[in-house]
Amino acid sequence: MDERLCSRVACTSVAVATLTYVYADSMAVLGPLSQRREPHSYDLCEEHSARLSAPRGWQVVRHVALSNDLKP
């Protein structure tokens, strides 16, 4: 399995998740690292995944638990 790096500028951490923008639904979907790169997806390291914020009016959907988040 190839090691993929975070797509953020100046970040050299290993990617752990893939962010996909679903323009039709104004959703930013964060899921497990995708098998291959796709046009509207970005690989993110753990830190950048955790700090992810969606553009105004967009919704962030997380499909991965990067840490032991407490349920609300």
Q: Which stretches of the chain bind Zn ion, using CB under 5 A?
A: 6, 8, 11, 13, 45, 48
Rounded to the nearest whole angstrom, what is the least distance from the CB of residue 42 to Zn ion in the complex? 10
CB of 19 to Zn ion, least distance (A): 11
State in angstroms the smallest separation of the CB of 23 from Zn ion.
Answer: 23
- C-alpha distances (whole Å) from 33 to each of 10, 49, 70, 71 are 20, 11, 23, 23
Which is closer to Zn ion, CB of 18 or CB of 48?
Answer: 48
> Which residue in 45, 41, 36, 42 sits closest to 16, CA to CA?
45
